[in-house]
A and B are shown apart, each in its own frame.
Chain A
Amino acid sequence: MSTRQPVSRRALLRQSALGIGSLGLYNLLAENRLLGATGSPLEARQPHFAPRAKRVIFLFMHGGVSHVDTFDPKPRLKLDHGKPLPIKRELTFNEKAAGALLQSPWAFSQHGQSGTPVSELFPEVASCVDDMCVVRSMVGEGVDHGAAMLQLFTGTFSFTRPSIGSWTLYGLGTENQNLPGFITIKPTQWQGGDKLFGPSFLPGAYQGTAIGSSAMQVDDVLSEPIAHLAPRDVTTQEQQYELDLLRQMNARHAGDRRYDQNLEARIQAFELGFRMQLEAPEALDTAGESEATKKLYGLDEDVTRDFGWQCLMARRFAERGVRVVQCTHSGVEEKWDHHSDILRLHPLRAREVDKPIAGLIKDLKSRGMLDDTLVVWSGEFGRTPFSQGADGRDHNPYGFSMFMAGGGVKPGITYGATDEFGYHAIEDRMHIHDLHATILHLMGLDHERLTYHYGGRAFRLTDVAGVVADKILA
């Protein structure tokens, strides 16, 4: 059924009125959420229940941030520094180089009213803890980057499945038809690549729109942020002539071929494309932002400019009704994958994102948008409490930290816990399926009801798993 065109409600009613409408078909379409008054697959749709968040911004830290050095303090590591891990070691990326327990060199202190502990790596984010819910019990299965990233973004690494952004867009449509409904800013091109914002078997309309890629500089991205947005070799006036001609030709063609809604859908696609041409450049232009705002995101400093720009873009898109925005902190290679020299490298990376993230949270809050905008921050896994080689940490999907802010998440709390070494999540474990279920829940979608029929059965983002983490709902 995935191949079926969206059928307009009118067409179906017409069928039903004649008594030959297929109820089965109607159900399947309704279940597949392809029904809309206009027939557009991107039209805003009713959620399953009242949403807490209308839009979501995902801040992805490529490579895997060390949770025991940032949001999950472990005094035991200080006590047992240099001693071997006294519990069973799980499958590790580099089996040979696993070393002894490694204490965090960075001091933790409590912040805000909530007293949430954050290490000195994230001083700016630390000032936002009263708006944040830090989850310290994340669990995944992917031990290598590709697997972990595919699981974080699509729920599985064994099969190709739609990304969470595509599922969300499929479930809710989008509020602004003149902008893409799902935008991913500077995504990585490998370790899952396009799959991280791909629709898989969902219709192509639910594909995320990429703005640049992680290896590009912001200035290069800005030269053509969204593909084919600007007229080429014709003036705006001439393009108006062209579109008039096209309307004329298409109207004549459709007139001879009644009832074919695909022809009408294609006519509408050109109208929308034209409107998008007008609106998207405005959304991407930061000239109108105040100096104070630019400073808030760190656009005035080289080290924070890249991610600051991404975060500012995220706010501007969110403001304009874009349903899902993904920002990626990456480069020509993973930013956080510090198998060695973590002492030197983690602070550099933290500095690149600390201010922009805090800027985004503060800016959303001051504009009254944090209430219905969900901000999600995570890497694909955490890092091991034991060393790799002399001065690194290996991948750890068995227990790690992420945080959320706004969008109906209980502020100023920590949720879940890892064991005393920070190796395994043991309390209120939040598997990636649970995270997905929770995010969808906040968006007003029941992860068990958000299904799509494909290849003979109904699929969902959380497969047969996923439990909404009720305790973190505000």
Chain B
Amino acid sequence: MNCGRGTITIRPVEPPLSGATQNRAMGSIRRIQIGAGRTRRSLRADWFLLLLCAVPLFGQDARETFFENQVRPLLAERCTVCHGPQLQSGNLDLTQPQQVARVIVPGDPDASRLIAVLNHSGDVKMPPTGKLPDEDISAVREWIESGAVWPQSTESAPTTDHWSFRPIGRFDPPEIKTASWANTAIDRFVAARLESKGIEPNPQADKLILLRRAKFDLHGLPPTIAEIEEFVGDGRDGAFARLVDRLLASPEYGERWGRHWLDVARYADSTGVDEDHPYAHAWRYRDYVVTAFNDDLPYDQFVREQLAGDLLPADTPGEINTRGIVATGFLGLGPKALAQRDSIQKRYDVVDEQIDTTAKTFLGLTVACSRCHDHKFDPILTTDYYALASIFASTRSYEEWGRNGSESLSIPLVPDDVYQPYKNHQDRVQDRKRIRSTTEQLAVERYRLDALISGMESAMMNARAAYLGQAAMPDGDQSAWVEFLRPRPDSPSYLKPWHEADAVEAQAFAQAQQQRLTQVAADRARMLEVWLAAAEPKYQAGERLTTEGLQDLPTDSLYTGLTEDDAPLFLSDEVKESVFAEETRKRLAALQSEVDELERTSPPQPAMADAVSEGELVAQHVFVRGSYKNEGEAVPKRFPLVIAGTQQPVINEGSGRRELAEWLVSADNPLPARVMVNRVWQGHFGDGLVRTPNNFGKVGERPTHDKLLDFLAREFRESGWSIKALHRLIMTSAVYQQSSVASEQAWDVDPENRLWSRFPRRRLSVEEIRDSYLALSGALDRTVGGTLDAGSDEISEVQRNNRRLNPDDYTRRTLYIPIMRNKVPFLLGLFDFGDATTTTGKRALSNVAPQALYLMNSEFGGGGSRNAKGLARRLAEPSDDFIDRLYMTVLVRSPQDSERAAAQDFISQFASEEAGWTSFCKMLLASNEFHYVD
């Protein structure tokens, strides 16, 4: 290899021996199929070479650019399907410069065989489907003429001065004129900008508004009357800080803020995409997240656990790190195709999804753009992408990814010596069941053979005579023959000859079919017998059974038709009971009681997690233009060069997830802290300081206050990555506590509130809407964690039946309702929940008519709804202060006199007081004032 400049000029070489080519071909295919391939040792060697060869990519000359833009894509698209790592027709792989050298003469296109072939001027014409456009051929000519430069991997860090890649700065809060307004350092960063624009800082919001704001913000629920009384009654200094402490200490905090994280982690309870199978254990990851927030798990540890928790030691040495395994649900719970036939594509789509989610979540970067080409806007290379792909491709996400109808990976959370007995026992149950069902099937086939098919010819002829009106209708079993054989518009085509036959031909047809089906049934019975004869001793010896021999029982359309429900050869359970021999019945009963006993004595299902684990290590190559069929250069596991640089430690053990997590939270990486403090700011204010929370790249927005962002990021890291400390810092600021009503001046100068000249009013999220309705009506079930089926690991009823779930059927908080990706509950979709398939940095917000219809007419919100009724009833007997109590409970304020009067007028229009009050409650709940937080 020429390492001088990172490019090589191709020189003709001897054609490789075909044997060697053969080996390479097999190696290459094997690498893709099973993900094994090269040894770790040779990986390390590659990496070493790569470092030696590193030259600046950005210094490449025009010839390299020409090759990359004009020639390499052309080869990839038109040639390498046949002449690439997969096929190597004519022993030629046009992705390998050494082999390309066989068919070109650098500097002399006319002497190059490649040009002759492309020109269709000789016997061999390529591509065989038709000559390339002239401009393509001349591009190849020009490339050869200019020396056939073939750029090699050029690993050097791209340079950038984009703000988000710079180290976190150390900034002191600026001096300000309105110092008395400021509570915290945050306020001084914000006030300085406001002053420079001539905007007066906004006054503090009313106490009740602050309470409602903080309560929805931290719990996603309206304050209770008791909370209102406590806060209003606390007239001492620091009342608000004490309120914040109380709210942060309640488990409802984790339920609200965990949900923010679940949006980012695109959490759902099913695989989505094609088959949408349930992730039965997904709830454990959800509970992990809620608990992490409630426990204020340091964010760096939160990052480590979600990417590599399975590789971290447990809290108690020697035990399984169940929390860590569950945490990797972050990677494991993404959308996954299960039925897709192209299994390599299927697998790399999951890898891509994991890269996309990981990069956006922790780095705020759209790395997945580089799957097909270097990033158009950000300094992220295609090799950066495949270096990360190497990590995730070496991670296991499927039980068996290569199989059709793959299953997602579930991991036991118990030691092997607990799990294996359970697993073995389940296998025994399944095998015993199979022996039982096959025994029964054999008896069925024998009965068909002896009692039904043997009399088929006459049964058919009798039936024919009956439906032609030539004989009386038979009764009992024989009537099924009439139904089956009588001509109908939708009669099966295989009965056409029968229907067109005269009596003599019909007789012949019936006779022939009897003979044929006798053979079919006999063959089936014989195969079942053979399987059973072998299965029983195997079972007794404790071995696992296979279905080999059961899968290809002979059948045909007629036989299938005749054995469908209620068809002549169908045997109902009652019939079976009456026709099976005594001995058979006894045998079946004995087998059944064995099955029952096995099920009864099964160890309980151990806790499981939908997660990831270490997979077979992959020697990853760049996939040119994103297609695995076009393998490019090999890439080692490493992190994006623009942040991590070229001097990275070699990853030579395992998938590299652990190293990835450590690199993310390392002191040299400025992005994760910035990205997370921005998410927290956004959680409080509706918008982040950076308003594109998942994109800190060039196309993303710049921070409104870059120094404040860095100040917070530094505080965050120095606090030991404490999210609760960050909440306290933000919520005690004057910026957080200011009014949401702004002066006209503030609206004019700061229409988008980029200066934070007012607290941003926000609409409630769907969780807040539903949970509040339930809470106010008194119906909310406050159980924390677990599944809707009370902590069971079984797939819940709703998931098993693949139904769309109706949140109205449940009273748990909305975050506990399973999200089937392809059947997101109507209510959630309606109020902008999103679709839980890609990481959501920030939800869209819409105000549309179907929402209004829902709040007016649904069982949930509508007039007769239990929530409006429940609210009216909960506040007990309507009385003089009913309106006051209602306003305080729902809107956290007292009504004005005119509002009291309007309420009385409204109710008087209804036939009954109860109906009137219920309607009034409904409208109060539907009002803008309730749905917006000031």
The chain A residues found within 8 Å of chain B, CB to CB, are: 1-3, 5, 11, 14-15, 18, 20, 22, 25, 41-42, 91, 93, 105, 142-147, 150, 157-160, 180, 189-195, 198, 200-201, 203-205, 207, 209, 227-234, 238-239, 241-242, 245-246, 248-250, 252-254, 256-260, 262-263, 265-270, 272-274, 276-277, 340-341, 343-344, 348, 390-391, 453, 455-457
Closest-by-CB residue of A relative to B832 is A204
State the Cβ distance, B809 to closest chain A Cβ, in Å. 15
The one of A200, A246, A390, A456 that contacts B927, using a Cβ cutoff of 8 Å: A246
Indicate if the CB atoms of A262 and B902 lie closer than 8 Å: no
Q: Is the CB of A457 within 8 A of B741?
A: no
Report B-chain residues with C-beta under 8 Å of the C-beta of A205. Answer: 846, 848
CA of A340 to CA of B340, assembled, Å: 21
| A455–B360 touching, CB < 8 Å | yes
When C-beta atoms are compared, the residue in chain A nearest to B836 turns out to be A160
- Cβ contact within 8 Å between B844 and A146: no
- B274 adjacent to A146 (CB under 8 Å): yes
A159–B899 Cα distance when bound, in Å, is 51
Chain A residues in 8 Å Cβ range of B927: 246, 249-250, 253
Asked if B822 and A194 sit within 8 Å, CB to CB, the answer is: yes
Chain A neighbourhood of B802, CB < 8 A: 189-190
Bits for B674-697, please: 1 = Cβ < 8 Å to A, else 0.
000000000000000000101101
Besides A147-B274, A160-B335, A234-B919, 5 other A-B contacts (C-beta < 8 A): A157-B273, A192-B274, A249-B929, A258-B744, A262-B847
**How far, in whole Å, are A142 and B829 apart by their CA atoms in the complex?**
27
**Identity of the chain B residue whose Cβ is nearest the Cβ of A198 in the assembled complex:** B835
| Set B751, B854, B931: member contacting A15, Cβ < 8 A | B751
**Cβ of B843 < 8 Å from any Cβ of A?**
yes
**Cβ-defined partner of B906 (8 Å) among A158, A160, A245:** A245
Inter-subunit contact B863/A233 (CB<8 Å): yes
A245-B923 contact, Cβ under 8 Å, with A227-B850, A232-B857, A233-B863: yes
B274 touches A269 (CB 8 A): no
- Residues of A contacting B492 with CB < 8 Å? 341, 343-344
**Minimal Cβ-Cβ distance residue in B for A91:** B341
22 A-B residue pairings within 8 Å (CB atoms): A143-B342, A157-B273, A158-B349, A189-B804, A190-B822, A192-B822, A193-B276, A198-B835, A200-B835, A200-B837, A204-B844, A232-B864, A242-B856, A245-B906, A266-B847, A267-B928, A272-B852, A341-B492, A343-B494, A344-B490, A455-B695, A457-B377
Partner of B852, one of A3, A270, A340, A457: A270
Closest residue on chain A to residue B860 by CB atoms? A228
Chain B residues 827 to 878 lying within 8 A of chain A, measured CB to CB, are 829-830, 832, 835, 837-838, 842-854, 856-859, 862-865
Interface members, chain B 139-186 (any A CB < 8 Å): none
B residues whose Cβ falls under 8 Å from a Cβ of A? 272-276, 335, 337, 339-342, 345, 349, 352-353, 360, 366, 369, 376-378, 490-494, 556-557, 560, 692, 694-695, 697, 699-700, 740-741, 744, 747-749, 751-752, 761, 763, 802, 804, 822-824, 826, 829-830, 832, 835, 837-838, 842-854, 856-859, 862-865, 899, 902, 906, 909-910, 915, 919-920, 922-924, 926-929, 931-932, 934
Inter-subunit contact A157/B844 (CB<8 Å): no
Smallest CB-CB separation from B754: which chain A residue?
A22
The answer to whether A3 touches B843 (Cβ under 8 A) is: yes
**Whole-angstrom distance between the Cβ of A305 and the nearest chain B Cβ:** 16
A3 touches B842 (CB 8 A): yes
Find chain A residues with CB under 8 A from B850 CB.
180, 209, 227-228, 273
- Among candidates B345, B829, B902, residue contacting A245 with C-beta atoms closer than 8 Å: B902
Separation of A390 and B340 alpha carbons in the complex (Å):
25
CB distance from B816 to the nearest CB of A (A): 21
Give chain B residues whose Cβ lies under 8 Å from the Cβ of A159: 349, 353, 838
Q: Which residues of A contact B845 (CB under 8 A)?
A: 3, 5, 262
Contact assessment for B858 and A232 in the assembled complex, using a CB-CB cutoff below 8 Å: yes
Contact A229 B853 (CB under 8 A): yes
Given known contacts A157-B337, A232-B857, is B849 in contact with A203 (CB within 8 Å)? no
CB <8 Å contact, B274 and A276: no
Given the known A-B contacts A455-B694, A457-B366, are A228 and B854 also in contact in the complex, defined by CB atoms under 8 Å? yes
Smallest CB-CB separation from A280: which chain B residue? B853
Contacts of A11 in B (CB 8 A): 751
Q: What is the bound-complex CA distance between A324 and B845, given in angstroms?
A: 23
Report chain B residues within 8 Å CB of A234: 863-864, 915, 919
B274 touches A150 (CB 8 A): yes
Cβ–Cβ < 8 Å partners of B747 in chain A: 258-259
Q: Which 7 A-B pairs have the closest CB atoms?
A: A146-B274, A233-B864, A193-B822, A273-B852, A456-B366, A160-B837, A343-B493
Q: Is the pair A157, B699 in contact by a Cβ cutoff of 8 Å?
A: no
Closest B residue to A141 by CB, please name it.
Answer: B342
Q: How far is the CB of A318 from chain B (nearest CB, A)?
A: 20
The residues of A that contact B557 with a CB separation of less than 8 Å are: 340-341, 344, 390-391
- A67 CB to closest chain B CB, in angstroms? 20
Q: Which residues of B contact A456 (CB under 8 A)?
A: 366, 369, 377-378, 692, 694-695, 697, 699-700
Q: How distant is B376 from chain A, measured CB to nearest CB, in Å?
A: 7
Q: Which residue of the partner chain, among A93, A248, A390, contacts B341 with CB atoms under 8 Å? A: A93
The reply to whether A189 and B273 contact each other, CB–CB distance below 8 Å, is no
Contact check, A20 vs B749: say whether CB atoms are below 8 A apart: yes
Instruction: Please name all residues of chain B whose beta carbon is closer than 8 Å to the beta carbon of A254 when the two chains form the complex.
Output: 928
Given contact pairs A455-B366, A456-B369, A272 touches B849 in the complex (Cβ within 8 A) = yes
A192, B340: Cα distance in complex, Å = 12
CB contact between A91 and one of B342, B491, B842, B848 (< 8 Å): that residue:
B342
CB-based nearest A residue for B741:
A257
Given contacts A157-B337, A245-B906, A270-B852, contact A146 B273 (CB under 8 A): yes
Asked if A146 contacts B846 (CB within 8 A), the reply is no
* Alpha-carbon separation in the docked complex, A341 to B493 (Å): 8
Q: How far is the CB of B671 from the nearest CB of chain A, in Å?
A: 14
Distance of A257 Cα from B922 Cα, bound (Å) = 23
Residues of A within 8 A of B700 (CB): 456
Instruction: Select which of A144, A145, A158, A209 is within 8 A of B352 by beta carbon.
Output: A158
Contact of A203 among B272, B822, B844 (CB under 8 A): B844
Give the complex CA separation of A260 and B740 in angstroms: 11
Which of chain B's residues has its CB closest to A193's CB? B822
Residues in chain A near residue B275, CB distance under 8 A? 146, 190-191
Decide: A232 near B862, CB < 8 A? Known: A192-B274, A269-B852, A455-B694.
Answer: yes
Q: Which of B340, B826, B829, B844 contacts A147 (CB 8 A)?
A: B340
Residue pair B853, A277 in contact (C-beta under 8 Å): yes
**Residues of A contacting B377 with CB < 8 Å?**
456-457
Which of A5, A245, A274 gathers the greatest number of chain B CB atoms within 10 Å? A245
Q: What residues of chain B lie closer than 8 Å to A457, measured between beta carbons? A: 366, 369, 376-377, 699
**B676 to A: closest C-beta gap in Å:** 18
Question: CB within 8 A of B748: which of A18, A143, A270?
Answer: A18
Contact B829–A207 (Cβ < 8 Å): yes
Q: Is the CB of B276 within 8 A of A190?
A: yes
Residues of A within 8 A of B376 (CB): 457
| A157 CA / B844 CA spacing, docked (Å) | 23
Give bound CA distance, A252 to B928, whole Å.
10
**In the complex the two chains form, what is the Cα distance from A160 to B337 in whole Å?**
11
- Complex interface: chain A residues within 8 A of B864 (CB): 232-234
Which listed residue (A158, A242, A265) contacts B923, Cβ 8 A?
A: A242
* Alpha-carbon distance A144/B924, docked complex (angstroms): 50
* In the complex with contacts A231-B857, A233-B864, A455-B366, A269-B847 CB distance below 8 A: yes
Beyond A143-B341, A190-B802, A250-B927, whether A2 also contacts B844 by CB under 8 A is yes
**Closest approach, in angstroms, between the C-beta of B871 and any C-beta of chain A?**
15
B749–A41 contact, CB under 8 A?
A: no
Smallest CB gap from A200: residue in B: B835
B352 engages A390 (CB within 8 Å): no
Q: Across the two chains, which residue of chain B brings its CB closest to A342?
A: B493
**A11, B376: Cα distance in complex, Å:** 33
- A200 surroundings in chain B (CB, below 8 A): 835, 837
Q: Which residue from chain B places its CB closest to the CB of A235 in the assembled complex?
A: B911
Q: Beyond A3-B843, A91-B342, A249-B927, is A160–B272 a contact (Cβ under 8 Å)?
A: yes
